[in-house]
Chains A and B, each alone.
Chain A
């Protein structure tokens, strides 16, 4: 176990290094990526440009710039090129919003997908299975910006059942927090519910034909117990992998479209705005932030794996 954790920590460092270098280099080669030009405004005079370059260190070799930026990032001093605001503090402000969205949605899509996947597998081939299959495909096919906008317009703006955008922190008013997040959670979950329930359905169908499920029935267990203890547990193993990856991505600011549609002002929306400005520091910080969560959740997935299936050893 200790060896496993050390190995994972080391691999996390490698991933973060690779991601940061790539991100930094991409912005260095993008046309129009020169931050000095952007900072100087329209028709800058050469002396002014030169001064900005000197002040921000843009005249130094790329690797020196990279090391400087990374140093600033880890000491919390990194500031945005376009707004001059502290990047780490900006991410901190948005963290609660993104986490609220990610955790709630991840619970929602896992719960619904599990129920739906199990139900459609048991009813495989019947009308209810077919209808729900179509529904799942519809869920998969609807882009989140479209379905989110529809929800916002019809349920929020027109019908007034749900608040139109906006966010209330959990600490302030838990009920309002929930109320304000229901639409974003739903919009974000639809795709995942569709995909996961399809994957789970086929896993359950495979597991149902396993010999040990027949044994479980021959033991005189109730059908419910057979399904939950013997079928579902073995069918969930591949789903957990998917869930870890997707949850990590959303935690790390991956739900950019959802955040933007509902104007949640989360980490994803922040990075989207920063990319628009070709503002390297926030992009770099959020990218690393996201990569961190993906590697972290992968590690969690491996641990959950070993718990679910004792044949898997952590090495």
Chain B
């Protein structure tokens, strides 16, 4: 599986013309997605992560939307692909699991029918065969009595079951890329773990690459290989899970990591939070967008910091912060090994 990247995104920009002006939801997003990896896209609500994910499937082509940059998938340019080309990719090559399983399934269609519809849109499979495949898929994603549930309506299933149906739907045509847009946000915690486990084991079985859009760092720590942290439409830091959790470079990442509460610690007086609010995407501060909320701001922050590797010897760890690496390590309040993963693997001998 060590061929080149499956998906190559370069300088992706998405803006919408709205009443308050031009909203730049996604700005200069660049990343590669390797086969079989889980890339987590992390950030606060409204940072552009969902728009970015949906744009890859051409689901944001509204009349008021403008696109820049490129996204290559298997020789196809997704951003300006024709509708028919995109249609063949959607569901078959790149599939998506949406945030809210309550509203993402058609309420008046049987769930089996909704999956069969996708299979038949891409493969000339006879109805009985498609139906059999759906029953197997539902069984595989952990739906009990799957054979009977093929004919169930969404309202007859619980939230967790519906999300499993969404996963079965996404997997039904064996996609190479699975985009999961906050797949566990609408579910309660016990179901969340099951769904994540489900996504992970399916990745292992099928070798599909996963883009996991989330604001939940606990989720990320659990299943991601690499992380892209987004803030106000830009990726501000990108690297492996270990790199981000143990050696975070961007002050925004520090804030995100610092705001996780842990049950194995003494309860803090107040939940730690990043001061201030994210900027409006229609009126973003010049230079580094995090500047107004950043306690470490200095002169240079008025220039846009490029997303580049700043640590010697680690070309995969990129960030957008002008502070020198040594200074970051001194200033950040998150100490290595404190968040998420317990002990850093390989550092145990010390």
Q: Hey, which bits of chain A sit against chain B, CB under 8 A?
A: 125, 210-212, 214-223, 225, 229-230, 233-234, 308-311
Contacts and interface: CB of A to CB of B under 8 A. Distances in A.
Contacts of A308: 108
A211 B107 contact: no
Given A220-B89, A220-B121, A222-B87, A215 B98 contact: yes
B92 A220 contact: yes
A152 to B, nearest CB: 43
A215 B83 contact: no
Contacts, number: 76
Nearest to B153: A310
Listed from nearest, the 10 A-B pairs whose CB atoms lie closest are A220-B91, A220-B90, A219-B118, A211-B103, A219-B91, A212-B106, A211-B104, A218-B96, A215-B104, A310-B153
Contact of B117 (A210, A211, A221, A311): A221
Contacts of B96: 218
Nearest to A308: B108
B104 A219 contact: no
Given A211-B103, A212-B103, A221 B108 contact: no
Nearest to A312: B108
Given A212-B105, A234-B106, A221 B59 contact: no
A210 B103 contact: yes
B291 interface: no
A233 B121 contact: no
Contacts of B121: 219-222, 225
A125 B63 CA distance: 11
B92 A230 contact: no
A215 B96 CA distance: 8
Given A216-B106, A217-B59, A309-B108, 8 more contacts: A210-B103, A215-B169, A218-B91, A218-B95, A221-B121, A222-B87, A310-B108, A311-B155
B118 A311 contact: no
Nearest to B103: A211
B241 interface: no
A219 B105 contact: no
Contact of B59 (A210, A218, A223, A225): A218
B83 A223 contact: yes
Nearest to B102: A211
Contacts of B90: 217-220
Given A210-B103, A230-B106, A219 B169 contact: yes
B122 interface: yes
A229 B88 CA distance: 19
A219 B121 CA distance: 8
30 contacts: A210-B103, A211-B100, A211-B104, A212-B103, A214-B54, A214-B98, A215-B104, A215-B105, A215-B106, A215-B169, A218-B59, A218-B90, A218-B91, A219-B114, A219-B169, A220-B88, A220-B118, A221-B91, A221-B117, A221-B121, A223-B83, A229-B109, A229-B117, A230-B106, A230-B109, A234-B107, A234-B108, A308-B108, A310-B108, A310-B155
Contacts of B117: 216, 219, 221, 225, 229
Contacts of A220: 87-92, 118, 121-122
Nearest to B86: A220
Interface string B72-104: 000000000001000111111001101010011
Contacts of B106: 212, 215-216, 230, 234
A309 B104 contact: no
